[in-house]
Amino acid sequence: MKFGVVVFPGSNCDHDAFWTIQQVAKQPVTFLWHESHELESCDAVIVPGGFAFGDYLRTGAIARFSPVMESVGKFAAGGGLVLGICNGFQILCEAGLLPGALTRNVGLKYVCKPVQVRVENADTPFTNACSPGEVLTIPIGHMEGNYFCDDATLQELRRDNRIVFRYASPEGELTPESNPNGSLENIAGICNAAGNVVGMMPHPERSAEPELGGIDGVKIFQSMVGALASR
């Protein structure tokens, strides 16, 4: 199997994701330049965090027009695994691969700290190494992480079990205090209807080794490896 990590001008978590896949998950990985349509026969694509194109206009609004995103869209439509992390989640929403939008945090402040997220759906290619209701500690670092969608979309996400992660207390309780950005219903990550595209605001690559203070994030990458191996 082979992973690809997309690189935009302003990406700053691309090398972190690359390192985690190569050194922790022990899988082949390559960088995918934003100006290229070529996905280099990758089996999974990571759209990483950062500030693609400086977040000008609004987060993800320019990056979604990059040639590589046209190819990522076709890849996803064909069942390819796509994981958007933080800015990557924002880009996937702008590109129409996921519904809703990420808006300014409540309080209008950049938030950077470890948070707890509860696994709402463990039956995805990105969470199969987790247990339903399991609480993971994974860092966040964003200014626009406040997830919002209209009522019809929210009903659809609930009905089809497409809310993958929710911000929670260490005990797994959904409280206002555990919601770091004001996201609707504490939503921290969602998937598309087919389940092969996931966007999440927390950074699993920042909690994949003991030296980083935790290893809960590695379960996301282990899940992807397991899902690809079983295909």
pLDDT tens for the chain, 231 residues long, are 999 999 999 999 999 999 999 999 999 999 999 999 999 999 999 999 999 999 988 899 999 999 999 999 999 999 999 999 999 999 999 999 999 999 999 999 999 999 999 999 999 999 999 999 999 999 999 999 999 999 999 999 999 999 999 999 999 999 999 999 999 999 999 999 999 999 999 999 999 999 999 999 999 999 999 999 998
Give yes or no: 203 in active site.
yes
Q: Which of 93, 130, 144, 203 is catalytic?
A: 203
Give yes or no: 86 in active site.
yes
pLDDT at 180: 98
Rounded to two decimals, what is the model's pTM? 0.97
Q: Which of 89, 87, 107 is nearest to 98 (CA)?
A: 89
Give yes or no: 134 in active site.
no
Q: Which of 86, 93, 149, 191 is catalytic?
A: 86
Q: Are 127 and 220 in contact (CB under 8 A)?
A: yes
Query: In sequence order, what are the residues at sequence separation of 6 or more whose Cβ sits closer than 8 angstroms to the Cβ of residue 131?
Result: 119, 122
Protein fold of 3-229? Rossmann fold (3.40.50)
